[in-house]
Amino acid sequence: MTATTSQTVGGTGLRIGERDFTSRLIVGTGKYANFALMREAIEASGAQLVTVAVRRINLDPSKEENLLDYIDRTRVTLLPNTAGCYTAEDAIRTARLGREAGLSNLVKLEVLGNPQTLLPDTEALLEAARVLIREGFVVLPYTNDDPVMAKKLEDAGAACVMPLAAPIGSGQGILNPLNLRFILEAVSVPVIVDAGVGTASDASVAMELGADGVLMNTAIALAQDPVKMARAMRLAVEAG
């Protein structure tokens, strides 16, 4: 079975673990000019899964403006992520912190290799994934475009694999479509293209190649009009 036939909802949606989503677009919450603009863009995107960096949000009740106050959790599911972690231990600790704070047992697992490229350290990623899966987390790992590693992550129990299209924030689009096809053939869990998607056409190409979903942040948040870009990305994913 391929991911595109085994893990979709009614042929059009997305299944992550036991959760079903009608939208295949996942969006981030960083880099926006302000939280109000972020909220508008999320609404325009139609995304039902929204990722937040555990290390960058205020988990304690306070009077300070809080990113979480601008997310309607009755309409979207939070996807905590471990952005900014460079070791398996740090990523595991951050994931636990997010769950203990009541965010979710979902985790977009990121273990970065270095701050220049923001490429994943896949050895540490696999180590962290195994630990968190044993602890009951639903793990969505950000990985490279290596089909061998994608299969190892699936075998470890990952709910999906999230190969990069290009380095985070680069906007370069899908640099290696052949490897993406290999990954789609290698695994039966959903394949969600993550990082490097810069334009609506990039998003459509990812879906045309057979991806089950697309995650993006920079392309929307840093657009001249983030709300219009969010709407364009929504339509591109639907069209693809």
- Sole residue written with tokens 């997010």: 98
Confidence at residue 4, expressed as pLDDT on a 0 to 100 scale: 37
Q: How confident is the model at residue 195 (pLDDT cuts 50, 70, 90)?
A: confident
Q: How confident is the model at residue 11 (pLDDT cuts 50, 70, 90)?
A: low
Q: Which CATH topology does 3-239 take?
A: TIM Barrel (3.20.20)
**31 a catalytic residue:** no
Q: Provide mean pLDDT across the span 10-20.
A: 82
Confidence at residue 171, expressed as pLDDT on a 0 to 100 scale: 82
Domain residue ranges in the chain: 3-239
Q: What DSSP element (H or E) covers 219?
A: helix 218-221
Burial (CB < 10 A; 0-12, 13-18, 19+), residue 116, is: exposed
d(CA 21, CA 10): 10
Exactly one of 31, 63, 108, 228 is catalytic; name it. Answer: 108
Q: Provide mean pLDDT across the span 56-78.
A: 84
Q: How confident is the model at residue 88 (pLDDT cuts 50, 70, 90)?
A: very high
Is residue 8's pLDDT more than 70? no
What is the pTM for the complete model shown?
A: 0.90
Is residue 2's pLDDT more than 60? no
Q: How confident is the model at residue 10 (pLDDT cuts 50, 70, 90)?
A: very low
Both structure tokens of 91: 């990523």
Mean pLDDT of the chain: 91
pLDDT in tens, 126-175: 999 999 999 999 999 999 999 999 999 999 999 999 999 988 888 888 99
Q: Is beta strand 25-27 parallel, antiparallel or unpaired with respect to 192-194?
A: unpaired
Sign of torsion over alpha carbons 111, 127, 21, 185:
positive
The share of the chain scoring above pLDDT 70, in percent, equals 93
How many separate helices (H) and strands (E) can be counted in the chain? 9, 10
Confidence at residue 230, expressed as pLDDT on a 0 to 100 scale: 97
Is residue 79's pLDDT more than 70? yes
Q: How confident is the model at residue 124 (pLDDT cuts 50, 70, 90)?
A: very high
Q: Is 154 in a helix, a strand, or coil?
A: helix
Confidence at residue 7, expressed as pLDDT on a 0 to 100 scale: 52
d(CA 139, CA 17): 9
User: Angle at Cα 24 formed by Cα 167 and Cα 223, nearest 5°?
Assistant: 50
pLDDT in tens, 19-61: 999 999 999 999 999 999 999 999 999 999 999 999 888 776 6
Q: What DSSP element (H or E) covers 107?
A: strand 106-109
Contact 123, 86 (CB under 8 A): no
